Amino acid sequence: MNPKQLRKLKKQLHPKTTASAPELNPNAGADNDYITQMNHFRDEFTDFSDAVFLINQVLEADRLLSRGLLPQPLPPLLLPDNFQDTMYQRLLAKYPLGDPRGDQIWNQLSGDLPQLDRALRNFREYLETTYGMWAYISAPFANDLSAYLNGRPTLEIMAGNGYISKGLRDHNAKQPIYTTDSKDWTAENETGKHPVTTVEQLDALAAIEKYSDQVAAVIMSWSPDGQTVDWDVLQALRKLPSQPELIVIGEKDGATDSTIFWQQATLTEIPALNKHFSHFDLLNDQVYIAK
């Protein structure tokens, strides 16, 4: 176990980052291989509780989603800054310098550590490509949203596979929920292919035209980056005499929605809705009321 190797590993683990989401590990293979890889990492790093805790969070979220259930909130999926040092010191305490057994274990762990770090940071992309889940919708967040809506009739537009509506229906089966999506993305990814609740095929503006006089709130989550449908939605709602409340989930001036929407919308953050809204990677999406 050479200290120079430790310094080299640190450079691998902490490159300069940008605000954009990282890409999946090209060596990870198909979606199922991601979970296989995470199970392998859990066995390999079993003596390091910080790593095992994060891996278990990923695996449990996947287990629940694979059964059509909403997951729990996630912590930041980032290994501690001193994780390499901890790993190095623990091995050094067990094997003296120059011991080939320690060198072999160190070489294996240090070689796989950057891959583990990358896989944790890429969990969102796994969720997108496997479940069509873009905003991370946890069961506690759905509970908060249900309490906030307090039974008011609600329209979800651009619902994808319907995770938000499912959470609301689970908490209040009597609440009128209209779940809609254009399903334009089914040819490109998993969005809309595996609905977890009933989703009516309607684009956002058609859904507003059909249901606006029946609802008190409209939910719009992760409107596509650069497309101005969100701005069209906001303008359409502003013209309605009923003025249903627009609840928006997105990253302001970031990975979601259009520039004109963020510039023109009057936004209010609702602490009760962001309390359990999970931030586990570089993205900082929030829940807003937009007018």
Signed CA dihedral, 128, 132, 137, 138: sign only? negative
Q: Which tokens hold the place of 101?
A: 């057994």
Sign of CA dihedral 123, 124, 129, 131: positive
List, in sequence order, the alpha helices (H) in 201-277. 204-211, 229-238, 259-264, 271-274
Q: Which domains does the chain have, with CATH numbers?
A: 3-131 (no CATH), 139-290 (3.40.50.150)
8 A C-beta contact, residue 180 and residue 202: yes
To which H or E segment does residue 155 belong? strand 154-157
- pLDDT per residue, tens digit, the chain (291 aa), is 444 444 444 444 444 433 333 333 333 334 579 999 999 999 999 999 999 999 999 999 999 999 999 999 999 999 999 999 999 898 888 888 888 888 898 899 999 999 999 999 999 999 999 999 999 999 999 999 999 999 999 999 999 999 999 999 999 999 999 999 998 765 555 566 789 999 999 999 999 999 999 999 999 999 999 899 999 999 999 999 999 999 999 999 999 999 999 999 999 999 999 999 989 999 999 999 999
